[in-house]
Structure 1
Amino acid sequence: MTNSLSVLSLNCWGLYIVSKQRQFRLRAIAHAIDEGDYDVIALQEVWMLQDYEYIKQTLSPKIKYAEYFYSGALGSGLAIFSRYPILSSNFIRFTLAGRPLRVLEGDYYVGKGCASVCVRVPEIGLVDVYTTHLQAAYGDKDDYEAQRITECWQIANAVRASVTQNRHVILTGDFNSIPSSLCYKIIKLHGLMTDSWMQLHEDTLKDAQVRFERHELSASECIQYFGITCDSPLNTWTKRVLKQHPFAKDIGDRLDYIFYSASPHLQCIQSKVVMEGYIPNTQWSFSDHFAVHSLFTINNTNKDHSPFNTGQDHILPNYTCLTPSTFHDILDVIQFDITRSARSSKKLLVLLGFCLIAVLALFIVQVVLSSTYSTTTDRTNLIISSIIIYLLIFLLSVVGTIALIVGFVFGKTEQRSLIQYTRDISNCLRHVET
């Protein structure tokens, strides 16, 4: 008997206040999903609980099971909907995500991580469905590559653990990483995942690239030929930011993926970018990302539903498909970030020292001024001076406290976390090289 499993992944861009037309778009997304035929829907950046509840209610006649993941001060933004009963759920908080002084980016204050549910699909047994939203780069200079690498390492270890439990795995989300990145390699080669879109389009990519360089492909065709999900000139929300037009040479990036543990029981037969058009009766895109839809065929002719033979080497803890050169590239990026973090912490601790000295100096000035004006009847100048001095002391105390917390507490935590990742990755590398 052969059946199918339909999976959708979308970054909904549901930030409060920041995201344009958020409520209208999220409702349109809910109705668009409801009109489709999906068994599993994984959504990212659903930051508002009311948006999640609306989507849940809209999908409930067809999709009866849902899980919203609470984490951090402002939530994870992750939600998974399933046609099949959810047996369990789990959330892995990323060790490193964002930096506290970059308040406007907000990543440090939300609960970034990887969410998962375990569902039982009658034809093939247990399936672990993961979804995630990795740290963004923010601008041309990518200060967060090392953090994304550590996030992918966490995810890769999680999906490997699922495989060792003889469960099928589907991993979705906005990885903020292109297919040539180290993060992508970690998921594929260490997490032992198959990129569903690439699996079906790899043979046509070379021809599409030639046609693109000859200017024979429109921006719309590029979306499907290259799997573009973000920064497309056809997206109404990103083209304004990037000042693109529909025929811009910069066609966008493929940042959103549906990975899976390929096996004789579960094979991808269709994968494409969807929801790339406008919301009906508007000139607005559904989100600043397009969605990815993959259709899997389920074959349960074999009574053994496990995705792999448990006697095979790839379930061993030290098994990996990463090459030594890739390992060294990963370690170089992390080591560079350790140096950057130490340098940043040192600057903040120097600032803390300056604040302490300045506060002590201001107290001395205040004592001297009080003694000087103690014999005068007009104490107006003393009062004004005291107000200014105590205001400066307060401001310096605030700055010093922030410098202490960020420079020492966060800084040391970040550095030690990165060092631990280098040790974990180096252990894996040692087995590859022996």
Structure 2
Amino acid sequence: MSLEFKVFTLNCWGIAVVSKDRKKRMQAIAEYLATSHYDVVCLQEVWTDRDFFLIRDKVVGVFPYSHYFYSGVTGSGVCILSRHRFEETFFHQWSLNGYIHKLHHGDWFGGKGVGLCTMKVNNFRINVYTAHLHAEYNRNSDEYEAHRILQAYDTAQFIMLTSQSADLTVLAGDLNTEPGDLAYRVMLAVPGLVDSFESFDIQEEQGATFANPKNSYTPRCSGRQNPGQRIDYIMYHPGSRLQVDLKSYKVPLPERVPHQSCSYSDHEAIEATLEISQKTIESFSRDQENLKSVLKDCLNVVDHALNKLITHKIVYFTFAIILFIVLLVSIIFDAPEGFFVVFNVLRALIVVLITFCLLMATIWNKMEKHGVLAGKLAIEMSLKKHTNS
């Protein structure tokens, strides 16, 4: 007995007000999916209820089952559409999700994490996971590297611990990490996933899913400088007594929305067709040396992050003390004539900044430290287990 299972994933770039051409692109995405033949669709950056309901209602004839993973302030942005009935759904929110004061980044407000939907298809148990890791805003100076690596490890652990009874495990989404990056290596090594792109004969330059030169939202200058980044993935892993073969992998959407000058998103969609066959194969075993190397690299990054937290704490306390001294001086000396209101506004601003610095040095620093330590202890335990095995 065998089964073909077709998966589609797309980061829809659905930020209200900010994302260009959002309404007509969401309509176009819904129309495309309504005529598609996928088993499962994983979407990211569907940030508004209205956009989710639009897509859900448009595709209900093809995908009668849908689930949006609510989380955080704006919602997680991730959802799953399926031809097959869901048996269970669950959302695991990461403890590290960026910074609340980085309003221009906004990752913290999404309450990001990994969503899981389980289903049974022709007696095969299938676990489908979708995730959207923290964005990499500056590759040369990545302040979120530790957050993203720990999110990747957390996700990898979650998949490993919840997929033991599954006949097929699929992870699809925008992982915001390129092949070879530590977060990418964690995703493959810990739960033993396979990158479908690497399993198919495709040229590397054809695989860019973000900043692709053919995408209408890629600045023309950047298109001439590099071929884009591959940060969206469909990964999979078979059950212990099954075999999974990758039948096809491709970028399914046309370069432009029909009759429009824009692309469907600033990301490219990808699809993969997997064939599950009930064939006894040798038990899966991880590459122990590679796994240990990945875990050690993670610990190095985590230790560096903990040292940075100590520095951040000192810096914020120092700023708070300096600002407090400035506030005292402004109180001791009277405001110059005609500048009373300005002085009071400045004093209020200083009080706000002192409060912010104290919060960052105490509560927020402690929360981030605990999140990093939780990941470090889990990695150390896993490393010890694989070192002694």
Is the TM value for this pair above 0.5? Answer: yes
Structure 2 match to 1:216? none
User: Equivalents in 1 of 2:129, 2:357: separation in Å?
Assistant: 37
Q: How many Å separate the matches in 2 of 1:175 and 1:284?
A: 24
Q: Structure 1, residues 294-314: CA drift from partner, whole Å, max 9, x if none? A: 111133578xxxx997xx877
The separation in 1 between residues aligned to 2:119 and 2:288, in whole angstroms, is 27
- The Cα offsets for residues 187-210 of structure 1, whole Å up to 9 and x where unpaired, read as 111021111221123xx6xxx57x
Tell me the distance in 1 between the aligned counterparts of 2:316 and 2:292. 36
Partner of 1:232: 212
Structure 2 counterpart of 1:230, one-letter code: F
Task: Report the equivalent of 1:170.
Answer: 170
Q: What do the CA deviations read for 1:131-186 (whole angstroms, capped 9, x no partner)?
A: 01111111332221211110011111111112323453111110111111111111
Native 8 Å contact 2:186 2:294 kept in 1:
no
Matched, 1:413 2:363: no
1:255 aligned onto 2:231:
yes
Shift of 1:262: 2.5
**Which residue in the other structure is 2:312 paired with?**
344
Aligned partners of 1:233 and 1:244 also within 8 Å:
yes
User: How large is the Cα RMSD of the aligned pairs?
Assistant: 2.4
CA distance in 2, matches of 1:116, 1:356: 48
Alpha-carbon distance between aligned partners in 2 of 1:140 and 1:162, rounded to the nearest angstrom: 32
State how far apart, in whole Å, the 2-side matches of 1:320 and 1:33 are.
41
Evaluate the alpha carbon distance shift between residue 313 and residue 177 of structure 1 in structure 2; reply closer, same or farther with a 3 A threshold: closer
Q: C-alpha separation between the residues in 2 aligned to 1:345 and 1:183?
A: 26
Aligned-residue offset at 1:320: 5.7
Q: Deviations over 1:322-347 (max 9, x none)?
A: 44333222222222222223222221
For 1:196-345, what aligned pairs fall within 5 Å after superposition? 196-201=196-201, 208=203, 222-223=205-206, 227-240=207-220, 243-245=221-223, 248-263=224-239, 264-300=242-278, 322-345=290-313
Find the aligned partners of 2:367 and 2:253 in 1 and give their Cα distance: 41
Alpha carbons 2:189, 2:294 under 8 Å: kept: no
Amino acid aligned to 1:150: L
Instruction: Structure 1: give runs of 5+ residues left out of the alignment.
Output: 210-221, 370-379
Which blocks of at least 5 consecutive residues in structure 2 are unaligned?
A: none
Counterpart Cα distance in 2 of 1:308 and 1:116: 27
Change (3 A) 1:71 1:320: farther
Answer whether contact 1:132 1:174 (CA < 8 A) is retained.
yes
Q: Percent identity?
A: 28
Q: In structure 2, how many angstroms separate the alpha carbons of the residues matched to 1:276 and 1:113?
A: 30
| Corresponding position of 1:115 | 115
Q: Check the 8 A contact 1:74/1:110 in 2, yes or no.
A: yes
Aligned residue in 2 for 1:185: 185
For the residue of structure 2 that corresponds to 1:77, the secondary structure is coil
Give the aligned residue type for 2:261.
Q
Bigger radius of gyration: 1
What is the SS of the residue equivalent to 2:107? coil
What aligned pairs does 1:115-154 form with structure 2 within 5 A after superposition?
Answer: 115-124=115-124, 126-141=125-140, 142-154=142-154
May I ask how many residue pairs the two structures share in their alignment? 385
Distance 1:199 1:351 in 2: 52
Which amino acid in 1 is paired with 2:354?
G
Amino acid at match of 2:179: P
Q: Any conservation in 2 of the 1:123–1:300 contact (CA below 8 Å)?
A: no
Q: Secondary structure at the match of 1:282?
A: coil
Letter in structure 1 aligned against 2:385: H
Contact 2:160-2:191 at 8 Å conserved across structures: yes
Q: In the TM superposition, what are the counterparts of 1:320-399 in structure 2 within 5 Å?
A: 322-365=290-333, 381=337, 384=338, 386-399=340-353
Q: CA offsets, 1:245-279, max 9 Å, x none? A: 4xx35111111111111352543211112215210
Match of residue 426 from structure 1: 380
Report the Cα distance in structure 1 between the residues aligned to 2:192 and 2:3, rounded to whole angstroms: 24
Distance 1:167 1:416 in 2: 35
Indicate conservation of the 8 Å contact 1:101/1:406, yes or no.
no
TM-score of the superposed pair, with normalisation by structure 1: 0.83
Work out the CA distance in 2 between the residues paired with 1:52 and 1:106.
20
1:348 aligned partner, one-letter code: Y
Partner SS state of residue 222, structure 2: coil
Task: Provide the TM-score with structure 2 as the length reference.
Answer: 0.92
CA distance in 1, matches of 2:243, 2:299: 36
- 8 Å contact kept, 2:3–2:122: no
